[in-house]
Amino acid sequence: MSAESGTAVPPGTETSTDVESAFARWLTPLVALDDSDRRADGSVSLRRFGYVRMLTCASGPLRLVGGPRPAAPDTEEAVALLVPREGAARLAQDGRGVSVVPGESALVDLRRAFTVEHEGTHEGTARTLFLRLPLHALHVPSVPLRSLTARVLPPPAGSAAVLPALLGHLETSAPRVSAPLGERLGGLVTDLVAGLVEDLAEDTEGPAEDDRHPLVVTIRQYIDRHLGDPELSAELVAAAHLISVRYLHRLFEAEGVTVGRLIQRQRVERCAGELARRGRSSPSIAVVAARWGFRSPAHFSRAFKSVYGRPPQQWRRMVMSGTADAPGARV
């Protein structure tokens, strides 16, 4: 047990005020930044329930950036269940992004690159729960897992309906839980999460990334890296990969989205993430639009409304007032 902040720590709980170091030791190596791109301040608490680690991070606005981690023989493959407690979190992984609000949860594959942006509440506080689970305990092969990350898990139903209450109980009762009981509770949590993952797998449409044509995966990565280039288009993508535009469109037929639509949607989502920032560091709409490749404010406004249902100015005001989720697209 440690108490780096000098405050009392309940027995059975470890805590740290070095956010980045705590995540590196207890979850996965990552970079933790605040909304001014400085190292984030806050506290991270750890509770153990058998092989399940429960991390609770309390901070101001926070951005966690995890990089791909090379496989090692002595490294346990693991996933994390992201559960916002105060303030919504924006999770991006495997070419997808999703807004996760309190009461919802989503999966993060800790072996691959991901970003979690937590804007916090109106008071500026953010509190997020991370459950670290061994991948083998969920019985989810690596191939379908790529299609399940960065998606909101289905609302718990049936036996899984007890999961939210159980997690809340575990957050507060760790000091009173014996090691044998903790192991059993960790196994129960894993079984309940596995049920939610199975439900999501049944509802997920479209091919898993590993089932796609390898060139589609490469092209998606290329698009993600060049979203800020206003010249990015289907023609440019095709030329960069030495294929015809016609063949490019054929490759994306199974994706359920055209290349042009994919570029626009991802640009809009990146813009929404920045526009949802609060405080003095919040950038202007024109600056954000230009940064992500939109040639004019009018074009950006039309594109944004097609995804979020309202112009960016109105959407941003609603986010600031708490009457709209931030940032979550309709498509």
> pLDDT tens digits, residue range 94-145?
878 888 888 899 999 998 889 999 876 666 688 999 999 988 777 766 556 7
Asked if the domains 14-203 and 212-321 are classified in one and the same CATH topology, the answer is: no
Instruction: Kindly indicate whether the domain formed by 212-321 is annotated with CATH number 1.20.1250.20.
Output: no
CATH code for the domain defined by 14-203: 2.60.120.10
* Predicted pLDDT of residue 281: 55
Locate the DSSP E strands across the chain: 14-16, 30-33, 42-49, 52-59, 62-66, 78-86, 89-93, 96-100, 106-109, 114-118, 126-134
What would the pLDDT profile of 162-201 be if each residue is shown by its tens digit?
Answer: 888 888 888 887 777 888 888 888 889 988 888 888 777 7
Q: How many C-beta atoms lie closer than 10 Å to residue 270's C-beta?
A: 20
How many other CB atoms are there within 10 angstroms of residue 62's CB atom?
Answer: 24
The pLDDT of residue 273 is 77
pTM for the model: 0.59
Listing DSSP states for 198-232 in one string gives: HHHHHH--S--GGGS-HHHHHHHHHHHHTTT-TT-
Residues of the chain with pLDDT under 70: 1-12, 69-75, 120-124, 140-144, 159-160, 202-212, 256, 277-282, 319-331
What residue spans define the domains of the chain?
14-203, 212-321
